[in-house]
Amino acid sequence: MIAAILFDKDGTLFDFNVSWSAWAQDFLATLSGGDDGLAGRLGARIGFDWQAGRFRPDSCVIAGTDAEAARALLPLLSGMTLNDLTTRISRAAAKAPMAEAVPLVPFLDDLAARGLRFGVATNDSEYAARAHLRTAGIHDRFDFIVGADSGYGGKPAPGMCLAFALAVDVAPQNILMVGDSLHDLHAGRAAGMRTAAVLTGMAGAAVLAPHADLVLPDIGALARHLGPGNRLNTTGPA
């Protein structure tokens, strides 16, 4: 019986590649001062193909934190500190134009009508997460919103997941963690939660399936797997 759902943000609520590839090109162009050669080298450091304008599946940006991205970029940027670069990434990311994986307002309202509680746990900063949710008009749908800098650690550690369980007073085994990466699924399982993978990130079904109770094309398919009393059905078409 599922009483609450904890969502990852990028690649789950929002389509990862559509949302972040154009932003990455603009950010790297600004960071490099318009030097295409440097922008390409910076992109390579974070798993972003500058010429193709697309992230590689092994990019540290996909499931990592702003600090991890900053540490990767810093060796090519003289005169900047890790804290300054991390803050710059977080502030710029908060302005990224996010592409909803599905229309989020009706999706969340439909699930809320079933009595479910919601949270967001992202390895992005909390500042950026709240900005993106406000822009999408869904910030007030969530009981719990945290980022990797919120004091609970980052995924794949279970800290954010366990904090959500405490915040909504729901046992972990009655919570569904929904995400697009192994970091999300590992965090959910480490916390004792059920897990659902979605394919709106960069990882494929073959990678995610061994770590998930359910693999879905996107979060919009989730309602079809919640039966009477919000019992999770892990069989049937995605």
- Residue 63 pLDDT greater than 90, yes or no: no
The percent of residues above 70 in pLDDT, for the chain, comes to 99
Cα first-last separation, the chain: 19
Q: Is the pTM of this model over 0.85?
A: yes
Identify the sign of the CA torsion 166, 233, 122, 135: negative
Of residues 3, 7, 2, the one with CA closest to residue 180 = 7
Q: Which residues pair with 100 in a beta bridge?
A: 14
- Cβ atoms of residues 195 and 212 within 8 Å: yes
pLDDT digit string (tens) for 65-106? Answer: 899 999 999 999 988 999 999 999 999 999 998 999 999 999
CATH for 4-15+99-230, options being 3.40.50.10070, 3.40.50.1000, 3.30.70.2190, 3.40.640.10: 3.40.50.1000
Per-residue pLDDT, 45? 96
Per-residue pLDDT, 64? 84
What single DSSP character describes residue 237? -
The secondary structure of the chain in percent helix, strand, coil, rounded to multiples of 5, reads: 50, 15, 40
What single DSSP character describes residue 142? -
- Residue 236 pLDDT greater than 70, yes or no: no
Domain with CATH 3.40.50.1000 in the chain: 4-15+99-230
Instruction: List the structure tokens of 121.
Output: 């746990």
Per-residue pLDDT, 32? 94
Mean pLDDT of 138-157: 96
pLDDT digit string (tens) for 13-61? Answer: 999 988 999 899 999 999 999 999 999 999 999 999 999 999 988 898 8
